[in-house]
């Protein structure tokens, strides 16, 4: 076994010189040693050779002149501060001139430390520099992507989204940017509906440039495909530099598609100025990420536009019933749009006997599903109104419909929650112009007030009730007798967080009944929360020339008297109706009331356009129904005769009994 080698003893000075020599000859960090006068005393090969400049041209020169050789700005204050205080300055980023044959500006991380001898005497400074160009460029790309995610897609508008892409990429990524969208996208259409066999028509949606960038087209005109190459790009690609459309010299060009799910929405062209650094592989990846983000935002904007069109179409259905209801009320309607799909609605529905139903509702949880639910509830209200139900009974059946819709939505979504189940507020008021009677029922909370002709305002004509689809009936209801010229005000409830209408502002707008409903609606509309609806109705009364009513004694002998009264009133009103048909319907209804009903009996006639409505009311609750009598039967043909002669007939129930009605000659003959 070999004997152990003796340790070699080296003094501290020798170690220091060896370490210093190794650092200067082998380290990959640039080293600059400055004396107290900030002159360069020594540099290593990395610092001198990075530009191919001999060390002799650097050593001995003031630092300001030496750094100017590299194109680095010289901050003498930092060096003097380190020299005076001994506090190092680390990680400072400086840029230099591009290397020969390249366009890339190098970035260096520079640190400065003070040099002292063993006695603490200040000798000078050592400056270390590391090339961090690739690191900083990668960081700049990440910052640009983060900026794109923050600033692109802030609004649901395709042109705004295109403008945001231009703003984000100028000037950090390009000197000029042109964003073109297909004509279908700009018109809010689904790109999938366009033919895949033809090249889409492109229009400039946004463009911008810096001083160094080539000119860009105006927004709006059609762009030729040559702007993006021979054909629309299918992926980010480089184009050879050439003159722009105006003949101006151009630098590097990068084009990329705006596409999502295989559907082309448009394209983008990024230009850099003449002599600028060419786009590289990393730039292609960055452009693809930017355009993908933009395309997703464009798709969201298109989806919103299409949903908004659907919501607006559903919101505006059905058409207003002005002519059919103007004998009972004079109506003013308002809808303050907000684009959120709140699911608010109003309806004015004509009912038999010149009556009218006023409806205002609001589906909770805004969105397209809320508007769809609203549309189905409106359809249900229109269907249920044909049954002549009292408002509170109509709400009870509408509650059942809402619960059924809730069950359907829960079954359709495996991830549904109770919060997604639809609930709604709804107020239904039925006004009878023959007697001035207002029957109202309310589910939920909403604005409902009655203004009488003397200016008094009743802001609580009915209490709040449970929401449709929530707790359920019974719903709050009330009955009022209104003088002619009263104003009924209904509005949908504001969503949680909305300011809604202030009570004092509403009272001030309603307390002047001398104005017409349109003027009152103008004042109230400004108080509405976005996407809320307003319905104002000024009540009327039927005049003696439109209405006639008689009490009929409970005796079969009085049927002939009723027939005479009806025949005389038809002649007095000058209606072009067959007196025999009208008196036959009236006598059959009175006969049924005496046979199956209870006293008292009231016969009422109302003019309805070219025809009239015949109503017979009694205190009985027995439901009339059509019978098909046999040839040998002596009775059972009364309602069948009425149904054959009348345009329409029906029955409605009240707490005091029922009313059977028939419309005669009210329907215009169908054209042949």
Per-residue pLDDT, 169: 93
Which residue, 324, 328, 320, is CA-closest to 345? 320
- Greater pLDDT, 408 or 137: 137
Q: CA torsion, points 463, 469, 474, 480, in degrees to nearest 10?
A: 40
Per-residue pLDDT, 634: 44
Residue 351: CB atoms within 10 A of its CB come to: 19
What domains lie within the chain, and their CATH numbers? 29-131 (3.30.450.20), 137-311 (3.30.450.40), 329-413+420-539 (3.60.40.10), 547-664 (3.30.565.10)
Provide the mean pLDDT of the chain.
81
Token pair of 420 as six digits: 């997604």
Per-residue pLDDT, 286: 93
Q: How far is CA 633 from the centre of its chain?
A: 65
| Cα–Cα distance, 9 to 5 (Å, whole number) | 12
Contact 210, 220 (CB under 8 A): no
**Phi–psi pair at 659, nearest 5 degrees:** -130, 125
pLDDT band, very low/low/confident/very high, at 544 (cuts 50, 70, 90)? confident
Contact 175, 213 (CB under 8 A): yes
| Cα–Cα distance, 606 to 223 (Å, whole number) | 67
Per-residue pLDDT, 249: 59
| Cα–Cα distance, 352 to 30 (Å, whole number) | 97
Per-residue pLDDT, 494: 63
Per-residue pLDDT, 243: 56
Proportion of the chain above pLDDT 90, given as a percent = 28
Q: Which H or E run contains 370?
A: helix 368-385
User: For residue range 36-94, what is the model confidence (pLDDT) as tens digits?
Assistant: 888 888 888 776 555 556 667 778 888 877 777 667 766 788 889 999 998 999 888 88
User: For residue range 361-392, what is the model confidence (pLDDT) as tens digits?
Assistant: 888 765 566 777 888 888 899 889 888 889 99
Q: Which H or E run contains 288?
A: helix 281-315
Q: Is the pLDDT of residue 166 over 90?
A: yes
Lowest model confidence (mean pLDDT) among 356-365, 450-459, 620-629: 620-629
Which residue, 608, 609, 462, 485, is CA-closest to 537? 485
User: For residue range 513-543, what is the model confidence (pLDDT) as tens digits?
Assistant: 788 889 888 888 877 776 678 899 999 999 8
Handedness of CA 382, 383, 386, 391 (dihedral sign): negative
Burial of 145 (0-12, 13-18, 19+ CB in 10 A): middle
Q: At what angle do helices 579-596 and 559-573 cross, to 10 degrees?
A: 150
Handedness of CA 271, 276, 282, 286 (dihedral sign): negative
């Amino acid at each position: 076994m070999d004997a152990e080698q003796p340790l070699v003893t080296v003094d501290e000075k020798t170690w220091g010189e060896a370490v210093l020599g190794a650092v200067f000859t082998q380290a990959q960090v640039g080293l600059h040693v400055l004396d107290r006068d900030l002159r360069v005393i020594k540099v290593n090969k990395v610092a001198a050779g990075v530009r191919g400049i001999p060390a002799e041209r650097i050593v001995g020169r003031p630092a300001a002149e030496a750094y100017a050789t590299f194109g680095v700005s010289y901050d003498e204050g930092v060096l003097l501060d380190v020299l005076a205080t001994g506090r190092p300055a680390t990680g400072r980023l400086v840029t230099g001139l591009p290397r020969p044959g390249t366009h890339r500006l190098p970035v260096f991380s520079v640190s400065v430390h003070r040099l002292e001898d063993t006695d603490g005497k200040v000798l000078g400074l050592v400056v270390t520099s590391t090339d961090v160009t690739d690191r900083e460029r990668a960081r700049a790309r990440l910052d640009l992507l983060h900026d794109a995610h923050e600033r692109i897609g802030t609004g649901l508008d395709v042109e705004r989204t295109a403008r945001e892409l231009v703003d984000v990429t100028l000037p950090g990524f390009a000197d000029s940017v042109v964003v073109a969208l297909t004509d279908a996208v700009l018109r809010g259409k689904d790109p999938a509906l366009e033919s895949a066999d033809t090249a889409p028509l492109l229009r400039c949606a946004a463009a911008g440039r810096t001083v160094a960038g080539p000119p860009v087209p105006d927004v709006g005109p059609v762009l030729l495909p040559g702007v993006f190459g021979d054909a629309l790009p299918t992926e980010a690609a480089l184009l050879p530099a050439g003159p722009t459309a105006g003949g101006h010299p151009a630098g590097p060009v990068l084009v990329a598609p705006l596409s999502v799910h295989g559907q082309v929405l448009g394209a983008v062209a990024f230009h850099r100025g003449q002599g600028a650094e060419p786009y590289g592989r990393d730039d292609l990846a960055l452009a693809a990420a930017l355009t993908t983000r933009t395309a997703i935002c464009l798709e969201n904007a298109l989806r919103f536009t299409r949903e908004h069109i659907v919501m607006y179409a559903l919101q505006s259905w059905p058409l207003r019933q002005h002519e059919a209801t103007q004998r009972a009320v004079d109506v003013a309607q308002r809808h303050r749009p907000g684009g959120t799909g709140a699911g608010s609605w109003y309806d004015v529905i004509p009912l038999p006997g010149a009556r009218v139903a006023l409806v205002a509702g609001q589906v909770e949880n805004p969105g397209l599903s809320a508007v769809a639910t609203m549309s189905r509830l409106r359809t249900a209200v229109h269907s249920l109104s044909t049954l002549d139900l009292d408002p509170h009974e109509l709400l009870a059946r509408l509650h059942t419909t809402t619960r059924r819709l809730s069950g359907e939505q829960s079954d359709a979504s495996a991830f549904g929650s109770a919060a997604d189940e639809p609930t709604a507020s709804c107020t239904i008021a039925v006004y009878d112009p023959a007697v001035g009677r207002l029957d109202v029922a309310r589910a939920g909370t909403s604005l409902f007030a009655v203004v009488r002709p003397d200016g008094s305002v009743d802001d609580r004509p009915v209490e709040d009730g449970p929401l449709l689809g929530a707790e359920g009936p019974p719903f709050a209801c009330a009955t009022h007798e209104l003088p002619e010229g009263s104003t009924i005000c209904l509005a949908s409830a504001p969503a949680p967080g909305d300011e809604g209408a202030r009570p004092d502002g509403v009272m001030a707008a309603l307390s002047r009944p001398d104005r017409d409903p349109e003027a009152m609606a103008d004042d109230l509309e400004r108080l509405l929360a976005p996407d809320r609806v307003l319905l104002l109705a000024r009540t009327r009364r039927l005049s003696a020339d439109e209405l006639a009513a008689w009490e009929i004694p409970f005796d079969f002998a009085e049927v002939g008297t009723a027939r005479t009264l009806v025949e005389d009133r038809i002649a007095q009103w000058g209606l072009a109706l067959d007196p025999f048909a009208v008196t036959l319907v009236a006598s059959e209804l009175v006969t049924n009331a005496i046979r199956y009903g209870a006293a008292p009996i009231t016969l009422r006639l109302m003019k309805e356009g070219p025809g009239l409505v015949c109503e017979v009311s009694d205190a009985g609750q027995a439901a009339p129904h059509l019978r098909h009598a046999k040839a040998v039967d002596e009775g059972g043909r009364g309602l069948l005769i009425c149904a054959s002669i009348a345009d329409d007939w029906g029955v409605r129930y009240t707490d005091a009994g029922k009313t059977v009605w028939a419309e005669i000659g009210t329907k215009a003959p169908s054209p042949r």
